[in-house]
């Protein structure tokens, strides 16, 4: 694979990315809907807060985002 470069030539610095432009949503029915919650999974090591919405609403958000050129992950 080659050696490790001495300096970071990552193209990430050339891509305008502001994490504050994004929201994190989830759908758990054991938490109140339409509120921020702490997602209780091992992958949430940064203890981020997520908007908890009903699954039908989440599907509408996803469809809207994809139909209007937004990303979803």
* pTM listed for this prediction: 0.71
Instruction: With H, G, I as helix, E, B as strand and everything else as coil, classify residue 50.
Output: strand
pLDDT of 7 strictly over 80: no
Burial class from Cβ neighbours inside 10 Å (0-12, 13-18, 19+) for residue 4 reads exposed
Mean pLDDT of the chain: 87
Distance CA 42, CA 31 (A): 17
pLDDT tens per residue, range 36-65: 999 888 888 888 899 999 999 999 999 999
């Amino acid at each position: 694979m080659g050696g490790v470069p001495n300096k970071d030539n990552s193209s990430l610095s050339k891509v305008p990315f502001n994490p504050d432009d994004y929201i994190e949503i989830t759908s758990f029915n054991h938490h109140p809907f339409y509120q921020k919650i702490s997602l209780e999974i091992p992958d949430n090591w940064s203890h981020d807060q997520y908007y908890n919405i009903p699954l039908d609403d989440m599907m509408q958000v996803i469809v809207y985002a994809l139909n209007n050129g937004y990303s979803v992950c």
